[in-house]
Amino acid sequence: MARVKNYEAQVYAGVLGKVIGVYMGRPFEGWGKPALEEKWGFVDRYVHEDQNVPLIVPDDDIAGTFTFIRALEDSGLYERTPDAFFGDTWLNYLIEPKTVLWWGGMGHSTEHTAYIRLKQGLKSPETGSIEQNGKVVAEQIGAQIFIDAFGMVAPGKPKLAAELARKAARVSHDGEAVHAAAVVAGMVSAAFVEKNMCKLLDIGVGLIPDDCLIARIHRDVRDWAKKDKDWRKTYDRIDKKYGYHKYGGNCHVVPNHAIMVMAWVYAPDDFHQSQAIINTAGWDTDCNAANVGSVMGIKVGLDRICEKYDFRSPFADRVIIPTAEGTRSMSDCLLEANCIARIGRKIMGYKAPSPVKRGALHHFEMPGALHGWMAEASDFETRGQVCLSNVEGQSTRGTRCMSVQFEGGPGSPTRISTPMLPPVNRKRGGYGVMGTPRLASGQRVTVRGVGAAGSTGARARLFARLFVPGDDIEPSILYSSSKKLAAGKPFAIQWEIPSTDGKPVLDLGIELTSSVKIEGSILVDSVSIKGTPKISWALETLTASNGREIAGWITDIDMCRGKFSDEKEDVVHYGKNMSRGVVVTGNRDWKDYAFQTRLSVHLADKSGIMIRYQGLQRYIALEKTADKLRLVERLYKDTVLAETRCRFKIDELHSLRLKAAGKKISAYLDGEKILEAEDKHLGSGGCGFFFENGNIGIRDASVSK
């Protein structure tokens, strides 16, 4: 196949197609075609408001797709990543029953079943095999729904995409489910260079055995479509021969793959029509629409995704990806696309591009990209009107900007914002939400742009909205100093986030004000976040509001309580009944810093603190055992880097400190350096606490340089 052109743009189109499909199909997942047609006739738009549910939700289709692809980069072996490592990736990023998956139970959820096998010590592909789990469980839909990104990292290489897809799929699936995954990954890969749908379908089915059931489905559906000329007639044939009544389990791959083929055949060059068909057909709508959307997004390209309907503005690229590691818990489609493309460039041997706009977090360098920025038009204090769009030109460091057109006046501020943390202490769309903030006190935010027409006399300032515990308490807002704007003049607003007493930052925003009535606009060129965090957590910000969850922290605990009656100082106790529990925050932007706390051991086989945390199987720990303090690197197994003899009395508080400076890791006990070692593998990551088979008490936690 030909060399791929516009690689990053095509990956972004595929990611958008995937996410649009999930958001469109999620409100009626599991509905049948008759019920959908009775309510809406033809589902050709977002209907979340009709169902009184949010549009932007966490969903296993999104979270699994953008999480499991990380195996290739985490292994450092990319296309040579061994089968077993894909299972190790699950153990690194999943917390039962909180992150990524639908946790339906053993034998009910195929993925949960495989996860339990992994915890029992089995390795992939045995964990997903028919021999272990039976044919019905092993052939459910999950392998197909998580697989699109494995096609995106092998553009124009469908055989390689199918090979990677099989490795990833077999963690949890087998048989026809793996064949379906290979087809989808192969079609995604081929769509980068082949834009004819008939050829794409031929390529996809050519990657699997000719005599398998998925191949037979392709032949049947395409033959029926030629005869029927009406997708509803073809649907009836599919339902009769391959419908849910023929295939058991919770959500079998066969019926759903069949209607995906139908949507591609009947709307080979029309993104909107393909989404309308696949969603109106019903069954596992979010999964099916997402797979159809990823292929169609790449095939038709960015310019044509919204040619008939504005799919993009309502969510402005926002995605929620709750995993055991919080860097991308609140993310956006362009950020995810760039992460996938970074892996793909390594696999394909492409030269890495220069950092966009000097490494800005938000750079707006793709048509339509908004990085999650939205107007806060519903805010009671925001009286003005505002419209956001992505425009070409006026960038001092690139080619595109975010245009903010606004109306305002005295007492009528205009606010726009983007989330730094997923929704706190709520369930969205049936999936739990945990995450860590992308922005923290001590870090510096820089927003660069240009004042455009009508902006002269207006002022701009940044704000950070903080989470405050309590359902009836409004979040508090911190503001930067303001900058006066002038038409045609560049501006830069720099702001170091002040102390928040450990309260996590929910949103970062820009507020525009004017002392007189004004209609103007600004062009935002880039948004950067730099620097080492400086955080001191008050005890109340370390306490779980419902016994299990802490805002801004990722938790795997069975208990959280205050001090015991005989303890002299206030502490927060965390406990895990069996195995290892964690309470972690921060992200992979954190590199050189120190994490310090006062910690007591109440009853735990092992406990301590962690830095450079990149998931449950990737971090450096200062670990307290019964009689030792040890520096331990966990990289899918524990390696002791240094150790010394040490005993603590029960419930006696001791100061523990871990400091990272380049490759040098230093450990301190009660102010004295006791251990030192070298970090050879990680380089960055968050921090937190761990405890094994028992509980610890902590207080006075902080992060600093």
- What mean pLDDT is predicted for residues 353-358? 95
Q: How far is CA 491 from the centre of its chain?
A: 32
DSSP characters over 216-249? HHHHHHHHHHHHH-SHHHHHHHHHHHHSTTTS-S
The dotted CATH code for 7-320 is 1.10.4080.10
Domain boundaries, given as residue ranges, for the chain: 7-320, 374-530, 535-704
Confidence grade of residue 381 (pLDDT, cut at 50, 70, 90): low
- The Cα 236–Cα 93 span in angstroms is 41
pLDDT value, residue 432: 65
- The Cα 581–Cα 451 span in angstroms is 50
DSSP characters over 284-338? SHHHHHHHHHHHHHHHH-HHHHTSSS--STTTTTEEE---SS-TTSEEEHHHHHH
CB-based contact 536:569 (threshold 8 Å): no
pLDDT value, residue 425: 53
pLDDT value, residue 394: 87
What is the radius of gyration, based on Cα positions, of the chain?
A: 26
pLDDT value, residue 383: 54
Burial of 649 (0-12, 13-18, 19+ CB in 10 A): exposed
Confidence grade of residue 209 (pLDDT, cut at 50, 70, 90): very high
For residue 667, the cross-strand partners are 658, 675
Residue range 535-704 forms a domain whose CATH class is mainly beta
Burial 243-260 (b: 16+ CB within 10 A, else e): bbeebebbbbbbbbbbbb
The dotted CATH code for 374-530 is 2.60.120.260
Q: Token pair for residue 217?
A: 């489905």
Q: Token pair for residue 216?
A: 């037979």
Q: Is the pLDDT of residue 208 over 50?
A: yes
> Which secondary-structure segment (H or E) carries 119?
helix 110-119
Q: What is the dihedral of CA 326, 332, 333, 337, to 10 degrees?
A: -50
SS3 category, 133 = helix
Percent of the chain past pLDDT 90, that is, above it, reads: 91
Average confidence score pLDDT of the chain: 95
- The Cα 595–Cα 680 span in angstroms is 19
SS3 category, 617 = coil
CA neighbor of 284 nearest in space, from 148, 165, 145, 176: 145
Q: Is the pLDDT of residue 472 over 60?
A: no
- What mean pLDDT is predicted for residues 471-481? 81
Q: Token pair for residue 230?
A: 């009406």
pLDDT tens column, 529-582: 999 999 999 898 999 877 678 999 999 999 999 999 999 899 999 999 999 999
For residue 687, the cross-strand partners are 585
Phi/psi region, residue 32 (left: phi>0; alpha: psi -120 to 50; beta: rest), is: beta
pTM of the shown model: 0.96
Helix axes 213-228, 176-190, angle to 10 degrees: 60
Q: Is the pLDDT of residue 380 over 60?
A: no
Q: Token pair for residue 77?
A: 């072996």
pLDDT value, residue 429: 47
pLDDT value, residue 385: 83
Q: Is the pLDDT of residue 430 over 70?
A: no
- What mean pLDDT is predicted for residues 98-126? 96
CB-based contact 453:520 (threshold 8 Å): yes
pLDDT value, residue 408: 85
- What mean pLDDT is predicted for residues 71-98? 97
pLDDT value, residue 3: 75
Q: Token pair for residue 202?
A: 């031929």
Confidence grade of residue 76 (pLDDT, cut at 50, 70, 90): very high
CA neighbor of 173 nearest in space, from 146, 148, 142, 147: 142
Cis peptide before 125 (omega within 30 of 0): yes
- What mean pLDDT is predicted for residues 90-99? 95
SS3 category, 33 = helix
CA neighbor of 386 nearest in space, from 344, 416, 430: 416
pLDDT tens column, 485-513: 999 999 999 999 999 999 999 999 999 99
Between 292-306, 363-377, 541-555, 592-606, the lowest mean confidence (pLDDT) is in 541-555
State the Cα angle at 680 between 678 and 684, rounded to 5°: 95
| Alpha carbon distances (Å) from 33 to 238, 243, 438 | 12, 12, 41
Confidence grade of residue 378 (pLDDT, cut at 50, 70, 90): low
Confidence grade of residue 123 (pLDDT, cut at 50, 70, 90): very high
Contacts of 59 (CB under 8 A, 6+ apart): 22, 26, 286, 429, 431
Q: How far is CA 455 from the centre of its chain?
A: 36
pLDDT tens column, 10-20: 999 999 999 99
Do domains 374-530 and 535-704 share one topology? The answer is: yes
- What mean pLDDT is predicted for residues 607-628? 98
Widest pairwise Cα distance in the chain: 81
Phi, psi of 252 (to 5 degrees): -75, 145
